[in-house]
Amino acid sequence: MDLKKGGRRALHAILAFYNLKTKAAIFPYREALAHEASVSVQTIQRDLAELEAREYIIRQPQKHKSAAAGPNAGRFWIAPILLTQKALVLLGLQEVIHRHPSSKMRDGVYIDIEHTKEVQSSSKNTIPSGSQSDKLPKQPDEIDPATRLPKDLVHLLERGVSKSGIFLLMKLAGTHGKRLSDIVAYRMPRIDALALQGRALFSYLRDLSAADVDFAHLAGQARVQQDDDEKLNEAKALQQRLHHHCDGYEICKDNVVIGIFRASVNVEECGRIEMEGGSRPLNIRTALALLRSGVRFRRPEACSY
């Protein structure tokens, strides 16, 4: 691509909102694009100007009614963004024509056979013998024994990316100081939304490998958020279980009773824990603390629940 760092950055931000199925223009706020690219609004404006100058995007202002005051009262301007044919082809997102002799259909998606062969050939030429194992995680339980791929990348095979293509993507990511696993983990929601398969998915991941983005940090944040969401769901489940089944149960730690749970008559309330010196509501914060502390719930003078 004949793009500088800023242009690539803006293009990746646009792809985050682009619908591959419809190829329709998108209407993201400049602030949204700037946030996606992790830059300021002024910077994303310059980057978009580069994309437009190099004919990767088309921005056609449209006039709409508005209740604004001043010299432009009754009007405001928006600029929908549309990817050009040039961008679609270079990104590998252009649909392969059915009658093309070098294409076939797999699961409703056209796969370019020559491109697949090219990827396989490139991987054989660029990945030295034995280097694949060097790029894999060292823990045996993280490797799929059947494919020798990291387990978190095996699902790419079902999306039309060949085994050698995945190894090539791993190598490309490594040359840019990234891990393909981090890229896939962070961008999987967008990949699902775009329904990327085969050649299009390979091209998308290849371009992300060269993007000026710290995917390890972003993927780490996403994993932390996922863990927090799981803990929150566990806390909510604990609230429901105690409310419906555990009224009067003792709360024990190290075989010592530290409190008694009292369910609320009102189903919209969370109940409370009676302890020495007072009581406290069983809100989410308390439920999380109970889960962390490893307490047990038991019927009075009975075995543990």
Structure confidence at residue 162 (pLDDT) = 92
Q: Between 46 and 110, where is the model more confident?
A: 46
User: What does the pLDDT look like over 68-95, one tens digit per residue?
Assistant: 555 555 454 556 888 888 887 777 766 4
| Structure-token match 């914060």, residue found | 285
**Residue range 158-163: mean pLDDT, rounded:** 92
- Band (pLDDT 50/70/90 cuts) for residue 108 is very low
More confident: 18 or 61: 18
Q: Does the structure show a pLDDT above 90 at 267?
A: no
Q: Which residue has the higher pLDDT, 67 or 111?
A: 67
Predicted confidence at residue 265, as pLDDT, reads 77
Q: Using pLDDT thresholds of 50, 70 and 90, give the confidence band for residue 205.
A: very high
Distance CA 256, CA 52 (A): 70
Average of per-residue pLDDT across 270-287: 87
pLDDT-derived band at 64 (thresholds 50, 70, 90) equals low
Q: Find which of 51-55, 156-160, 244-248 is predicted with most confidence, using mean pLDDT.
A: 156-160
Q: What is the band of 194 on the pLDDT scale with cuts at 50, 70, 90?
A: confident
Task: Say what the pLDDT of residue 94 is.
Answer: 61
Domain 1-93: top CATH class: mainly alpha
107-140 burial: b if 16+ Cβ within 10 Å, else e: eebbbbeebbeebbeebeeebeeeebeeebeeee
pTM above 0.95, yes or no: no
Higher pLDDT, 31 or 115: 31
Helix (H) / strand (E) element for 245: namely: helix 215-245
Share of the chain above pLDDT 70, in %: 73
As a dihedral over the C-alpha atoms of residue 216, residue 218, residue 219, residue 221, rounded to 10 degrees, the angle is: 120
E strand or H helix that includes residue 259 = strand 256-262
Q: What average pLDDT score do residues 182-204 get?
A: 88
What pLDDT shows up at residue 138? 44
Instruction: Indicate whether 13 pLDDT > 60.
Output: yes
d(CA 305, CA 68): 64
Q: Are residues 78 and 64 in contact, defined by beta-carbon separation less than 8 angstroms?
A: yes
Mean pLDDT computed over 119-128: 38
* Segments of the chain assigned to CATH 1.10.10.10: 1-93
Looking at residue 70, its pLDDT comes to 58
- Quickly state the pLDDT bin for 6 (edges 50, 70, 90): confident
